[in-house]
Structure 1
Amino acid sequence: MIKKTLSLFVFICCMVPVFAQLKKEAWVDSVFNSLNTNRKIGQLFMIQVPAQNDAASMNEIRAKIKNEQVGGLILTGGNPIGLAKLVREFQDNSDIPLLVSHDAEGGLGMSIDSTVAYPSPLVLGAIRNDSLLYELGKSIALQLKMVGVNLNFASTVELNSSPTLRYQSFGENKYRITGKAIAFMKGMTDQHVLTCVKNFPVQSITVSDVQKDWPVIVPTIDTAQVYTFRRLFENGLTGFIPGNKELPLFYTNMNLARKNNFSSQMLSSLFIGKWVKQNMNYQGLAFADLRNIPPINEKNSEGLPSLYALQAGNDIILYPEDINIAIRKIRRQVRRDKQLEAQLDNSVKKILAAKYDAGLSQKTTIDTDNLLLRLNSPQAQLLNKKLQEAAITILKNSNNVLPVSILDNKRFVYITSDTTQKPDVFFHYLSRYTHADRFTLHDLNELTRLAATSQRLTFIIGIYPQATLERLTVLQKLLELLKKHEVVLCDFGNEEFLRIAAQYPTVVTAYTNTPEMLEAMPQIVFGALPADAILPMKISDQLQTGAGSATPQISRLTYSIPEDAGMDSRLLCKIDSIAKEAIKNMATPGCQVLVARNGKVVYDKSFGYLTYDKHSPVTEQTIYDLASLTKVSATLQATMFMYEKGLIDINKKASVYLPELRNSNKKDITIIDMLTHQSGLAPFIPLWPQTMKDTTFLPQFYSRKRDAIHPFPVAPGLYGSQAMKDSVWSWIIQSKMADKPPRTPYPYRYSDLGLMIMQHIAEKVLNQPLDDFLAQNFYEPLGAYTTRFNPLDNFSTQTIAPTEFDKIYRKKMIIGTVHDERAAMMGGVSGHAGLFSNAIDLAKLGQMLLQEGYYGGYQYYKPETVRFFSTKIYKGRRAIGWDRPVQSEWNSPTSLLASPLTFGHTGFTGTCMWIDPEFDLVYIFLSNRVYPDRSTRLNSANIRSRIQDVIYQSIFDYCTHSQ
């Protein structure tokens, strides 16, 4: 029974193609049999649709479709919606479906406005993975079909034999070109869009004597040049067009040339079709392009090029002259020549078969609703991005500088060769990985001074196509001075530079300076993206075809669009309206929102202003006071470090590490109870009243000048003494504990004091101030250069969001000093508050934790350490230090859609960071909702959790619609 079933299945599988072929033949025969000679000849012609689409031209095309029954159209440019409507009209008015063609080698965006333009063939030639070329062909085909195009004149597959960067060629290796060309073609044909390859190469043509006054040609063919064409022919290529260049021509009968008005260019363009079919076993369509055929200066010569094209073995005639006259001439010749009549019938049947393959046997509707959105779909944009990222080529990496993994203890300097770059996209994305000083080649004196320093420097130099020889000469002089430093040269298509690139140890090229390349280059340099592209052509004796070093991805955050991370960008845009609602309702003057999924930052926007007067907009560089996010972003990181190194036991009492607690009411509290807020510590104790008398700052604690006795910033123009810091610590030790029944554990009660005590443990065990330890071991290695305590030491107030006008303690606007009064009394560094950051730098820490301690090529923690601290251990919602969701309860600090594995924290100033391992997600929200006073509107409107709702909904929606 099983054998019979299997046999039946095999039989059906074998018969399906047979049935499909029979159906195709039946349709071709039925259409063919309905044609008279004139209509058959009309099928040979494809006419141009001008980009301007003026009324006179359109009427002429309508007449040719109706009267001459032309076989197809050639779109040359214009607006996609207008073209789609025209094609729809033309197809409706044609008795036989029209082949509609376009030269879309790089997508519709090459000549049609408001559409995606994909990379040039040279850039594609650098890509190692040919499957991306298949996806490109598929994407272009889908876009072409949206405007009614079913034939693509693409691509140019000739070898690059020139020493210059020829962007219309895949390169000079025939095998690599062939692989890409076949993949590209398959991508289109699988979507029922036909392919016609351009510029079949012929070196020369010899013409011998003729039979019936017709030339016999013998072309000279370069086997390397035609290799790709031959392979495409074997794989079912629809059509080809010969090259139009002038060829050396030798006649054995000079009278023949004069008699038939043949020129060498005419022979190149027209006469190669029959030879290719006979000598290369080609079964597809031969196209003749009449645009460059010189005029025949002879009476009644109109229509002769079209006749010659057919007689020479071509099937389709592009850009014909007067079609009516050409039809009459061909009809007259067909009546006299039965062999030509048979050839005409064969060509028409092949054209009809091609139309069937393009899906034209079925009536389709060209839909213009939301056409621009569909043409510029996220999928198309993502493919364009991936193609360009995959093409960036590391030409030299002699000292294994790339990827740049170590960020701390070195200074980065960026130099641009183009002073007109505004904005400087390359520098913008470079700054997302590290802080770099920016210079141009005009700053030679300053750069020379820098080069002479003993400081460890890494120079990253952007070389743009616009850089003149004069600037390159300056660059060469500068590079001589920089030999003792690390130098990474990033080229964006400067051919003069590439010729000398081999003499430098670290060189990367993107071939062009598109926005996508400018964004991707820093990600390659810093290892957020891998590199494995190779040079598609020789650019010097030292840099031959195939040169290129591969570098790995080292798990730094990269930047992409939501669809690349399995999220719906249209739904994610709802975050914009929620953020704007918060600002409109004065819940906060501004905010930053960042979403990263699967290691990709897919949403990173800034909204509003630093204050309600709207003078300074929030940017991605704006630094916010993180408030209680300090607990998990700072103190807990030191705690995890000490735990992993065996320096502390979190189940032991805090008094084990702090002897001063042994004689206090805190002698028995454990570290783990403090971190889970179950230690019985008071939830809040104001400390500043003890340092003041009424509204006067007591002189033993404060000074208006910073000096050795008063080193700690409390507010601008106000500094605290070491004595105050010591007093704060003694007051914490002396603070009351919560009441509870005897022999019962303390219940959950959120308190800052536990983390303040934890800071003292860390500083004693590590023998280092908390801020110095964290900067050296976490923030600087991560590249989180804005994540720090006391940001005014490094940043101006213009880059820091103000928090509150403090009316009860400092009596002034707080900008750059910590909002929390007790942390301010500690000089801005405390275990519970004091940390500042922008969203992207905080996200680096979040991503490291999401990746279980690994980031940027370095393992900060063992995976089990991160899992241990982030896992809930008691009945309450808390993990060790971390807050967690409360499933199915309205008072959860997170979205109800967050997974049970989620961990994170919120901050009083209007901040949060949530990390969800199940969805591979990091969510950051930063604001100064306490400006100018402690408004509760952000909390009452659930702004943070509503934004988080949208994040999860975008994931669910994408999963639903992608299936």
Structure 2
Amino acid sequence: MTSCRSLLVTLLSVLFSVAAFAQTTLPSFLQPTNRYGGPRVNRWADSVLATLTPDERISQLIMVAGYSNRKPGYEDSLVTLVRTNKLGGVVFFQGGPIRQAKLTNRLQALSTVPLLIAMDAEWGLAMRLDSTVRYPYQMTLGAMPGSDSLIYRMGANLAKQARRLGMHVNFAPSVDINNNPNNPVINFRSFGEDKYAVTRKALAYVRGMEDNQLLTSIKHFPGHGDTGTDSHYDLPLISKSRVELDSLELYPFRQLINAGASGVMIAHLSIPALDTTRNRPSTLSPNIVTNLLKDELGFQGLVFSDAMNMKGVTKYFPSGQADELGIEAGMDVLEFTEDVPAALALIKQAIADGRITQQSLDARCLKVLRAKAWVGLDKYKPVVLDNLVSDLNPVQDVLLNRQFTEASLTVLKNDKNLLPLQHLDTLRIASVAIESEKVTAFQQMAGNYTQVDHFRLTSKMADSTVAKVLDSLQAYNLLLVDVHLNNIRPGTRYGMQAKTATLVGDLVATGKAVVTVFGNVYSLDRLNVPADSARPGRTIEQARAIVMPYQLTDYTEELSAQLIFGAIGASGKLPVTVNQRFRLGDGIAINAIGRLKYTIPEEVGIDSRFLTRQVDSLVNVGLEQKAFPGCVVQMARNGKVIFRKAYGKHTYDASLGAEPKTVQLDDLYDMASVTKVSTSTPALMRLVDEGKFNVDGKMSDYLPSFKKSNKADIVWRDVLTHQARLRAWIPFWMDTREEDGSWKPKTFKAERSARYPIEITDSLYLFKNYSKTIFEQIRDSPLNAKKEYVYSDLSFILYPQIVKRITGVPFEDFLKTTFYKPLGAATLTYNPRRFYKLDRIVPTEYDSLFRKTLIWGRVHDEGAAMLGGLSGHAGLFGSANDLMKVFEMYRQKGSYAGQQYISAKTIAEFTRYQFPELGNRRGLGFEKPSFAYTGNAPRSATKDSFGHSGFTGTFTWVDPDPAYNLTYVFLANRVYPTRNNNKISSLNTRTYVAEALYQAIKRGI
């Protein structure tokens, strides 16, 4: 027992014997007191070491490669290798999480001393495994001017995922300073070329991991950033002086070592300034591993080799010999030893020959055991397979990835402050995807903001096809060019195809292009086309604006489009110098301008799983009960769209000659009475702002023909709050029938003519002047006896006349030029058949009484149909997304994307209760919550909230109360196939779904 204590004392003295420049902060696994270690770690490590034979202590220093995607029989051979040689660890490469967890459990069950499991997971487990989280490459993170707290969170989250998978060491981060654009192996894996930024970001990453019990290994010591050779295939030469190395390459290593880094990985490099021995890789160099790293820099943590199968080491030293020389050089752990028996034999021989002392080897073994205890292997438990994949993909990491992307987006050119795009009504926009075979996520997102026509160009296209596309693009004044480079490595020319640069060059030469390059930042230098006999040279700098997202992912595509349209800003800076035009630190700051942002619920403090479950449940009940065949639900909070989902079908059956069409997010619905607050009401608010309409004026003030009517002195405020004694509605079409059921003269004909031009259906046309009869019927209609709240359509039928009379502009033109086009609400329109195919328009009712046909792409309301499909009370069609833009403008007090459409004062006036003392819940045009809950609004709706419902199954709601700040749209065709189906109201689906959003906000994450 005394001799055992003496051995441990000796080993400890070896373990902690360092030169004058000792590591300022000990690695966590060696600290005397640590929340994951301390005395417990030491006791376990000491006791295990005492049980190991000298040969078994050597084995603890060896990690072999493991794969979870190999053919049958591979696992048995790996198990045999590990068990027979009693190895210390496995470094996993390609595979999947469930397969790897099963293999890990099997290996651990057969190991006397639990295995240290490692992976290269620089950008998350997805670097090696499918079905796991992929974080951005380090170069992308290097573009963030600050936000190191995000990198810490990445490290913390990754550590939790790794530990859940049964992994203990992450061979990351790379702290190489990439100051060689042609570096084939580091490149995008580096944080950049600024040594201070590299150090700061790497430290945040390391601390995030180690604070959550994951060992790290900073790499590739002493610096792999300035080389044009890939050490996987050859031995790179670093021809720098010691002074240069100290100044640059060694800087981040020195800083992170002093901060307590737990591991350092040695690269396979030839560095004459540090070791003059010809062709000796740094991995095998005592001068570099022991003299420089351990003695001079005082590193006391685990020293890992880079993979021992790489040509950078095996080109001059065969497997086995290389492993022995690595241990002789001072290595603690050999990664990816290929010939384990040979390595063990040669290391034993080196001990016997005195080239390696047993005492030194035991000290290294003790350090490995302490690391194992620190990660919890002293209390080993197998990986639980239940819910493993879901646990490895937390929704918080979706948000983190979005935040990373948003923080790193870099604008490198912005001619005349073109970005973010404004004045959408002046732009004819085409998006052109380069080297993509389908419509891209970038293009789809761009289409959420306004009308964007999509094109694509690829190197595979014939020149004649390219020419046709280029000719078509002449009709547009702005081109959004998204360049898709599907490989980020320099060895593949960054994924550039034969004609990529030429295609981009032709587009930027138009002077109309905003170019977004989804790929390696160094590819910018390749997107230039020299002059030839046919054309002058073209350069990427000719673009009007340039956006660099650094890589190709759904996150970068979607958020780049959002940046261009001003939903988010940009603050990214180039982490490297590309050429003389694009240099380290370049980046133009862009501010967001308040357009809708498309994100996930977690960004606004909502649990997406809770919200989705609630909404799905409510909508699915409606679908099962056949309250409606399908619907679209869209929700936003704080101007951020957090829920968009289409449910069900256009119809219940194949009655339209084909299988029912699945509802799409951009389908157009008949808004029914939501038309009132999307057309008439905003038009009146705008006229109030311009001093052209007075809500306290009389009806006859704006309708001269009403001066002698019973409505002459009715005040508009009473009209807009539905207490003006107006009748609820008039069945105009019924007055066109004779007693025998035939049409009266000057009403309807079965064929179109000059006298009967107004299309009601394909076989029903209205007399050209019949609208005059409708207006006269309203004028001459009797008033209700009592002044009380009675919801009425009649006044809203009149507003298009009023607007045209005041402005001189037809009602629809006024709406589109004043609101819809500037808002980017391109689908909001009357009579959508003029612009859209029927399969994009959702059918409404089969009208068995009046029109005797399915109402599809034409207004459902009979009165609006007789007005040519255009009225102030019904007739508007559009998508949920475009309708939300109007109501988001209301929520933002009349402003949207930096443009004031309606004054905040007028918005406040129209959306407040007007006559609460009379029990009237209405605003001016707007519906508001009942004073006692009736289901007309969400139960939690505040007094400041407002919106409207529509007969066809539509509903929209805004609550500007700071506690909620929400905007909500529900579009359905509950009247299909008949209006007699009112289950949507009895189930209260629309307001219950809105209430789910309120509850999700209250509940939080």
Mapped to 1, the partners of 2:734 and 2:885 lie a distance apart of 38
For residue 86 of structure 1, report the CA deviation from its aligned partner.
Answer: 3.6
Partner of 2:444: 428
Find the residue that maps to 1:882 and give its secondary structure: coil
Partner of 1:881: 925
Mapped to 2, the partners of 1:280 and 1:755 lie a distance apart of 81
1:629 to 663, 674, 682: 674
Q: Is the 8 A contact 1:716 1:817 kept in 2?
A: no
Partner of 1:147: 165
2:663 to 618, 632, 650: 618
For residue 287 of structure 1, report the CA deviation from its aligned partner.
Answer: 1.4
Q: Is the 8 A contact 2:284 2:326 kept in 1?
A: no
Mapped to 1, the partners of 2:516 and 2:316 lie a distance apart of 55
For residue 681 of structure 1, report the CA deviation from its aligned partner.
Answer: 0.8
Q: Residues 477 and 297 from structure 1, CA distance in 2 versus in 1: closer, same or farther, beyond 3 angstroms? A: closer
Matched, 1:564 2:585: no
Matched, 1:125 2:170: no
Using the TM superposition, name which of 632-641 and 305-314 deviates more: 305-314
For residue 119 of structure 1, report the CA deviation from its aligned partner.
Answer: 2.1
Mapped to 1, the partners of 2:750 and 2:324 lie a distance apart of 98
Partner of 2:189: 168
Residues 446-466 of structure 1 deviation map (CA, whole Å, 9 limit, x = unaligned) = 55555666xx71121222226
The 5 Å alignment of 1:310-709 reads 310-320=327-337, 330=347, 340-360=357-377, 363=380, 366-418=383-435, 420-441=436-457, 444-446=466-468, 449=471, 457-465=477-485, 468-480=497-509, 482-483=510-511, 486-493=512-519, 497-499=526-528, 500-574=539-613, 575-611=615-651, 612-613=653-654, 614-693=659-738, 694-702=740-748
Using the TM superposition, name which of 798-807 and 948-957 deviates more: 948-957
Q: Is the 8 A contact 1:888 1:896 kept in 2?
A: no
Q: Is the 8 A contact 1:610 1:617 kept in 2?
A: yes
Find the residue that maps to 2:204 and give its secondary structure: helix
1:228 maps to a residue whose letter is: P
Mapped to 1, the partners of 2:626 and 2:676 lie a distance apart of 27
State the TM-score, normalized to the length of structure 1. 0.87
1:863 maps to a residue whose letter is: A
Using the TM superposition, name which of 810-819 and 526-535 deviates more: 810-819
Q: Is the 8 A contact 2:434 2:503 kept in 1?
A: no
Mapped to 2, the partners of 1:157 and 1:66 lie a distance apart of 35
Find the residue that maps to 1:396 and give its secondary structure: strand
1:922 to 952, 957, 967: 967
Partner of 2:830: 789
Find the residue that maps to 2:357 and give its secondary structure: helix
Using the TM superposition, name which of 136-145 and 460-469 deviates more: 460-469
For residue 96 of structure 1, report the CA deviation from its aligned partner.
Answer: 4.4
2:151 maps to a residue whose letter is: L
Q: Is the 8 A contact 2:61 2:332 kept in 1?
A: yes
Partner of 2:985: 939
1:24 to 22, 26, 38: 38
Find the residue that maps to 2:249 and give its secondary structure: helix
Partner of 1:7: none
Q: Is the 8 A contact 2:425 2:822 kept in 1?
A: yes
Mapped to 2, the partners of 1:302 and 1:445 lie a distance apart of 57
Partner of 1:8: none
Mapped to 1, the partners of 2:758 and 2:842 lie a distance apart of 21
Partner of 1:824: 865
Using the TM superposition, name which of 624-633 and 150-159 deviates more: 150-159
Aligned residue pairs total: 910
1:866 maps to a residue whose letter is: I
Mapped to 2, the partners of 1:921 and 1:421 lie a distance apart of 38
Mapped to 2, the partners of 1:331 and 1:436 lie a distance apart of 70
Find the residue that maps to 1:35 and give its secondary structure: helix
Partner of 2:781: 735
2:477 maps to a residue whose letter is: L
1:139 maps to a residue whose letter is: N
For residue 105 of structure 1, report the CA deviation from its aligned partner.
Answer: 0.7
Find the residue that maps to 1:144 and give its secondary structure: helix
Q: Is the 8 A contact 1:571 1:953 kept in 2?
A: no
Tell me the percent identity. Answer: 34
Q: Is the 8 A contact 1:444 1:478 kept in 2?
A: no
Partner of 2:131: 114
Q: Is the 8 A contact 1:711 1:719 kept in 2?
A: yes
Partner of 1:272: 288
Q: Residues 302 and 122 from structure 1, CA distance in 2 versus in 1: closer, same or farther, beyond 3 angstroms? A: closer
Residues 391-429 of structure 1 deviation map (CA, whole Å, 9 limit, x = unaligned) = 3321211221111121113311222323x5224322222
State the TM-score, normalized to the length of structure 2. 0.84
2:830 maps to a residue whose letter is: F
Q: Is the 8 A contact 1:803 1:814 kept in 2?
A: yes
Using the TM superposition, name which of 872-881 and 746-755 deviates more: 872-881
RMSD: 3.3
Point out where structure 1 has 5 or more consecutive residues left out of the alignment. 1-16, 205-217, 741-745
Q: Residues 20 and 52 from structure 1, CA distance in 2 versus in 1: closer, same or farther, beyond 3 angstroms? A: closer
Find the residue that maps to 2:217 and give its secondary structure: strand
For residue 91 of structure 1, report the CA deviation from its aligned partner.
Answer: 4.4
Find the residue that maps to 1:893 and give its secondary structure: coil
Residues 78-114 of structure 1 deviation map (CA, whole Å, 9 limit, x = unaligned) = 2212322443454455554542211111111121121
Q: Is the 8 A contact 1:382 1:564 kept in 2?
A: yes
Partner of 1:743: none
Mapped to 1, the partners of 2:321 and 2:194 lie a distance apart of 40
Q: Is the 8 A contact 2:935 2:988 kept in 1?
A: no
2:992 maps to a residue whose letter is: R
Q: Is the 8 A contact 2:433 2:439 kept in 1?
A: no
Partner of 1:852: 893
Q: Is the 8 A contact 1:245 1:268 kept in 2?
A: no
Q: Is the 8 A contact 1:24 1:353 kept in 2?
A: no
1:879 maps to a residue whose letter is: G
Q: Is the 8 A contact 2:49 2:369 kept in 1?
A: no
1:439 maps to a residue whose letter is: F
2:164 maps to a residue whose letter is: M
1:908 to 951, 968, 977: 951
Q: Residues 251 and 661 from structure 1, CA distance in 2 versus in 1: closer, same or farther, beyond 3 angstroms? A: closer
2:501 maps to a residue whose letter is: L
Using the TM superposition, name which of 758-767 and 913-922 deviates more: 758-767
Mapped to 2, the partners of 1:26 and 1:807 lie a distance apart of 83
Q: Is the 8 A contact 1:399 1:506 kept in 2?
A: no
2:280 maps to a residue whose letter is: S
Point out where structure 2 has 5 or more consecutive residues left out of the alignment. 1-30, 227-239, 458-463, 486-494, 529-538
Mapped to 2, the partners of 1:202 and 1:660 lie a distance apart of 87
For residue 739 of structure 1, report the CA deviation from its aligned partner.
Answer: 1.4
Partner of 2:935: 892
2:807 to 752, 766, 771: 766
Q: Residues 103 and 451 from structure 1, CA distance in 2 versus in 1: closer, same or farther, beyond 3 angstroms? A: closer
For residue 905 of structure 1, report the CA deviation from its aligned partner.
Answer: 0.9
Q: Residues 863 and 93 from structure 1, CA distance in 2 versus in 1: closer, same or farther, beyond 3 angstroms? A: farther
Mapped to 2, the partners of 1:851 and 1:502 lie a distance apart of 37
